[in-house]
Amino acid sequence: MALTLKELKIFKGSALLLSLDVTVKDGEILTVMGPSGSGKSTLLQVIAGHLNTPFSFSGSILIDGTDLASKSPHRRGVGVMFQDALLFEHMTVEQNIMFAMPSGKYQSINKKREAAATLLEAVELGGMQHRAVTSLSGGQQSRISLLRTLAAEPQAVLLDEPFSKLDTALREQIREWTFTQLRERNIPALLVTHDNADAVSAGGQIVELLSC
């Protein structure tokens, strides 16, 4: 399922913002670092399919050799996580996860519900299915957010400074936990961060972007 960025060049107007040529192997977490304005978030938008004027790109984005460029964002199988958990507040914990699960995969809604419960229990959040997401702590929200991303069975995951809003003690725990989950599922991931400790813990290749 490797994620390949082949001769990828991103432009703002006609000016070159960044260029990248790299492959993220299955289960690898590649770290992209660089000052603000260097195009880190734009890189994630290119891969997720949300790029718009004045930005444009050349080159190709491949997952297992399939080019993503012609696919709509929701058909790319690319999960995105931001620094906020962004759980849907009009849904319970369980509904958030079931919303993410592939629709054709489960025979009945009850099977789907059981699968959601299993996912939650595996990470010590069992019994929280019917909680309102606003009643959860910051750490719980982060973990549910990752579970939701994984429940969609993505082919690659993009992490946009996902730990930057957590306090130091919590950050290490959530980080280790997140990386373990991604490696266990053999998913290639691309992490954008300011924090050196994130890069060290990710243990994959590190790309430094220069400011323009």
Q: Is the dihedral of CA 191, 155, 73, 91 positive or negative?
A: negative
- Classify burial at 160, counting beta carbons within 10 Å of its beta carbon; exposed 0-12, middle 13-18, buried 19 or more: buried
Q: Does 11 bind another protein (CB under 8 A)?
A: yes
- Decide if 88 contacts 39 (C-beta within 8 A): no
Task: Map the footprint of another protein across residues 67-126, applying CB under 8 A.
Answer: 69-82, 84, 86, 88-92, 95, 99-100, 102, 124-126
Among 36, 53, 108, 168, binds another protein (CB under 8 A): 53
Q: Which of 173, 183, 205, 206 binds another protein (CB under 8 A)?
A: 173
Residue of 1, 2, 139, 183 interacting with another protein (CB under 8 A):
139
Query: What residues are paired with 36 via a beta bridge?
Result: none
User: Which of these ranges, 31-39, 110-118, 148-156, 194-202, lies near another protein under the rule CB under 8 A?
Assistant: 148-156
What is the phi/psi pair of residue 17, to 5°?
A: -90, -50
3-state secondary structure of 186: coil
Query: Identity (one letter) of the amino acid at 211?
Result: S
Are the beta carbons of 81 and 159 closer than 8 angstroms?
yes
Size of the site for another protein (CB under 8 A): 60
Which of 156, 194, 201 lies closest to 40, judged by CA?
194
Closer to another protein at the Cβ: 19 or 173? Answer: 173
To another protein, the closest distance from the beta carbon of 43 in angstroms equals 13
The distance from CA 160 to its chain's CA centroid, rounded to whole angstroms, is: 7
23 binds another protein (CB under 8 A): no
**For binding to another protein (CB under 8 A), which residues are involved?**
11, 45, 48-58, 69-82, 84, 86, 88-92, 95, 99-100, 102, 124-128, 130-133, 135, 137, 139-140, 143, 148-149, 151-152, 154, 158, 170, 173
